[in-house]
A and B are shown apart, each in its own frame.
Chain A
Amino acid sequence: MKHYLLILFGSAFANNLVLTQFLGLCPLMGSSKRQQTAFRLGLATVFVLTLTSVLSHLIDQSILEPLGVGYLRTIVFIVVIAAIVQFTEQVIRARSPRLFEVLGIYLPLITTNCAVLGVALLNVSHQHSFAESFVFGLGASLGFTLVLVLFAGHREKLEGAEVPVAFRGSAIGLITAGLAAIAFMGFQGFIRT
């Protein structure tokens, strides 16, 4: 139990996808204008990322490893991710049109979130088991969502700030993200790998 809690904490905070591994920066900059949308995108990412984390582990263990075609990993995982996103989209559209409307364009966009592929590949390099992959994916995506929502709070507030012209927009966003990454360096040493 303690082991899984450590993986959860480590993937959410100490090795946060966005602020320590610098994955998933495109949604961080792209969909953080409003906290509401950031939160919805985060929820969709939690679902997809946890699912792909587990499924890619299964495919890696049952197909790629036995056949000795590990070099196909990246491309296979991308196909898996795209398929899961498509599948999720269709199920949500059929079962809950309202949620589908709420998520809107952000659902298909998850395919291009490099954090999803990143977690799938990290599972392989850390040699995670099935349960570990699940916890790792869940923690990483929850940490991603937390940072996305908190960051959106800053972006909303920055709209009113008198930022010098040269730094408006993405520039000040990236500086803010950089300072937040410095804050997250405080978690260094929590998890010894």
Chain B
Amino acid sequence: MNPLSIARRPRSPFIRSERSVRDIMRDVLMALVPGALVALWLYGSGVVFQIGLAAASALITEAALLALRGRPVRATLQDHSALLTGILLGLSLPPLAPWWVPVTGAFLAMTFGKQVYGGLGQNPFNPAMVGYAMLIISFPREMTLWSGTFGDSPSFSTSLTALLTSPDESWWDSIARATPLTLLHDGLKTTMAKGLPLPDPALTASILINLAYLTGGCFLVFRQALDYRIPLAMLIVLLAGHMTLQTFGGGLLGSLQQLFLGSTMLGAFFIATDPVTAANTPRGRWVYGAGIGAFTLLIRSYGNYPDGIAFAVLLMNFAAPSLDALTRPKAYGHS
């Protein structure tokens, strides 16, 4: 690898801060704790299995690929970025998915999402979402099997059975429940009256978990570990767009519930804000966040997939370099 190949063309950011990648990643990992604990409480021990397997697979894949490329393995793994990718992917997966789902997903995320582009800081697409999108396209059945609601989490043995064996349909039918977004998607609006607060245990679970991620996100904003523009723009557009749809008779839920469904807060604060794959300029970040909010709402309302965060993030990742080019501040004296 010729080091000059990097030097030939200077890359942003040009102003370096004192905080290392490792410090920021540690803050982000800490901020994920409340959300992960609530998920564990609601969805049972499957959450731990998914996070553990995805994180282990991400770390092993990163180590193997770094070794293949002749890069320092130990030092790179200690920046915690591979660990964070694995944990984010694990948190997005259904808690009762079979073991090969998190393992394959994290492998794909680290390979095609990151190392093939040269590692941290050079990947154009969010690795965790690359893994998630590949999984939901390839294994739609396994990726939509959710279980557990408020006050009714699957037992340890149930989680272990789902993880290690491939149970048949009848077993699944007795365990799996649709998430509020899936219900919404399938048009089963009967369980969710318009605008009523918390009519359904599954909805309560969804709102609790989003509140936990929101708490973690606020901690990160306070620590200046992320740019508030991206989640703010995304949530504003999600809310405003939803209200517009409602005006024309399209929206089904109360407006606040749209903000607390699916993985909205996890996406807004932990996934959309990835500094590598987001737009870099302040104005570009407003547009970037707004775009994620708009695409999320559109895919939730009209698309085939129940939640649109992953695709919305990937779509705006695709647009990010051009957003930067369009919103680059003019240098003084240049027209």
Partner-B contacts on A (CB < 8 A) = 35, 149-151, 153-154, 156-165, 167, 172, 175-176, 179-180, 182-190
A183 to chain B, nearest CB (A): 3
Among B69, B112, B308, contact of A186 (Cβ-Cβ < 8 Å): B308
Q: Which of B34-42, B114-122, B171-179, B218-226 contacts A (4 or more CB under 8 A)?
A: B114-122
A-B contact pairs, 21 of them (CB 8 A): A153-B320, A154-B321, A156-B321, A157-B124, A159-B9, A160-B8, A160-B122, A161-B117, A161-B122, A163-B117, A164-B116, A179-B125, A182-B133, A182-B134, A183-B133, A185-B133, A185-B137, A186-B295, A189-B303, A190-B298, A190-B302
Q: Is the CB of B314 within 8 A of A172?
A: no
Residues of B within 8 A of A183 (CB): 125, 133, 311, 314-315, 317-318
B299 within 8 A of A: yes
- CA of A157 to CA of B303, assembled, Å: 31
Q: Is the CB of B305 within 8 A of A160?
A: no
Residues of A within 8 A of B302 (CB): 189-190
Among A164, A176, A188, contact of B118 (Cβ-Cβ < 8 Å): A164
Among A160, A176, A180, contact of B6 (Cβ-Cβ < 8 Å): A160
- CA of A161 to CA of B11, assembled, Å: 9
Give the secondary structure class of A's interface.
helix
- CA of A153 to CA of B280, assembled, Å: 13
Residues of B within 8 A of A184 (CB): 315
A174 to chain B, nearest CB (A): 11
Residues of A within 8 A of B324 (CB): 153
B265 to chain A, nearest CB (A): 20
Cβ < 8 Å to A, chain B residues 71-100: none
Among A149, A163, A186, contact of B315 (Cβ-Cβ < 8 Å): A186
Residues of B within 8 A of A175 (CB): 112, 116
In order of increasing CB-CB distance, the 10 nearest A-B pairs are A186-B311, A189-B304, A162-B118, A153-B321, A183-B314, A161-B122, A153-B322, A160-B9, A188-B304, A183-B315
Residues of A within 8 A of B304 (CB): 188-189
Q: Is the CB of A176 within 8 A of B124?
A: yes
Q: Is the CB of B133 within 8 A of A163?
A: no
Given contacts A167-B116, A186-B299, A189-B303, 6 further A-B contacts (CB under 8 A): A35-B322, A154-B318, A158-B124, A164-B118, A172-B116, A187-B303
- CA of A161 to CA of B122, assembled, Å: 6
Closest to B68 in A: A164
Residues of A within 8 A of B137 (CB): 182, 185
B312 within 8 A of A: yes
- CA of A160 to CA of B113, assembled, Å: 17
B319 within 8 A of A: yes
Residues of A within 8 A of B125 (CB): 179, 183
A161 to chain B, nearest CB (A): 4
A112 to chain B, nearest CB (A): 26
Residues of B within 8 A of A162 (CB): 1, 5-6, 118-119, 122
- CA of A158 to CA of B123, assembled, Å: 9
Convert B128-169 into 0s and 1s, putting 1 for each residue whose CB lies closer than 8 angstroms to a CB of A: 001001100100000000000000000000000000000000
Q: Is the CB of B11 within 8 A of A160?
A: yes
Q: Assuming A35-B325, A160-B6, A188-B304, is B130 touching A182 (CB within 8 A)? A: yes
- CA of A156 to CA of B321, assembled, Å: 9
Residues of A within 8 A of B112 (CB): 175, 179
